[in-house]
Structure 1
């Protein structure tokens, strides 16, 4: 099946879980193994022909300056719109088809999740395909899992699978949500109810770098300690 031609990286948040580390920089510019998180995220797009959009808000000028000269579009939000509102604002650049979305605060050890999602994407029976990882391989995860996967790949809420922050998503349903600020959970809930939300289990390891302790854990993961 044809893979999406566009990708959205969510990078607008305040990074409050990072405490003092985000006092003078946005979270995507925090370094892991000597490189900003946003650069690790963009590494996954190398060799792929994608229209790339990064949304910004908190200290957005710093992130825009870091990305200047690269093949990346900036979607600046004067007010935080959350994931759903932010994605909808970026649609004129992303286009009308299904898109990849990606969180910038994670590190991967294993195959490229974008390639795996592309290979498994089946728009005839899916409106969303989420990449998930079992709790046992979710390094730095605080809390439990998010989803369970049925034998046919459909997801339901609760379980020991953690959403990794990367997915393929059809965006048609965004137009039907009247609120300007909303989470993509609103869209997922409808897709789950319709039996159109699926997930793929990531075969490698994944690290949440949304909190300070995650930085060292991610560096150890990269070094395969």
Structure 2
């Protein structure tokens, strides 16, 4: 059975400054390739299908880039829907089962995080499984982490683990949220309250490419640099 993947690509990329003034952030190049193409490599390596991306800012540019790559695009208009609203709007393309979601502004060095999700996913006890990165392996991350992982794999808010931007989750709860625009944090909060929000700790390194300063760090990581 193939695994559907949702790629979040609708944001404005304001932290990128001039680099995103005339193009969406997922098309900014790292090591000679668009950020979203690095993410697509991970999805294709696990034979994901369908692959869906949302688009809002400069949507026509993103759609033109993805058209020959067998990626379906959902256009969020007139308003951007945030991660939760965007995922819910894409469900007719993704289907009713669990979905892998991916941010498209990170570079990974180590095992394919999607392979780890599929290996450790246990729908009997989990509603979501997040890949989280220890702070000392999260290159370009400033500030504190997002979560703490308990011995049984469940997670709580606050701690020294950074959410790496990929997860597998059940989407049933999206229908219960009475808002057109909302973050997946709302769904996570429900799952955590029910003891069904889990994480796997990534063994490699990860680089945030949310600002221009992240680009050389990510390129050094891809070259195997040790000083990042």
Q: Could you state the TM-score of these two structures normalised by the residue count of structure 2?
A: 0.96
Give the Cα separation in 1 of the matches to 2:146 and 2:55.
26
Count matched residues: 223
Bigger Cα displacement from structure 2, 189-198 vs 47-56: 47-56
Q: 1:43: Cα distance to partner?
A: 0.4
Equivalent residue number for residue 155 of structure 1: 155
Equivalent residue number for residue 175 of structure 2: 175
Equivalent residue number for residue 200 of structure 2: 200
Instruction: Pick the aligned partner of 2:25 from 24, 27, 37.
Output: 27
Equivalent residue number for residue 5 of structure 1: 3
In the TM superposition, what whole-angstrom CA distance separates every residue of 1:140-183 from its partner, at most 9, and x where no partner exists?
01221000000000000000000000000100000000100000
Instruction: Pick the aligned partner of 2:43 from 45, 56, 62.
Output: 45
Equivalent residue number for residue 73 of structure 1: 72
Paired residue secondary structure (2:44): coil
Q: 1:49: Cα distance to partner?
A: 3.8
Give the Cα separation in 1 of the matches to 2:74 and 2:65.
14
Cα RMSD, aligned residues only: 0.9
Q: Could you state the TM-score of these two structures normalised by the residue count of structure 1?
A: 0.97
Q: 1:203: Cα distance to partner?
A: 0.5
Structure 2, gaps ≥5 residues long: none
Structure 1, gaps ≥5 residues long: none
Q: Which runs of 4+ in 1 moved over 3 A?
A: none
Q: 1:37: Cα distance to partner?
A: 0.1
**8 Å contact 2:145–2:162 — kept in the other structure?**
yes
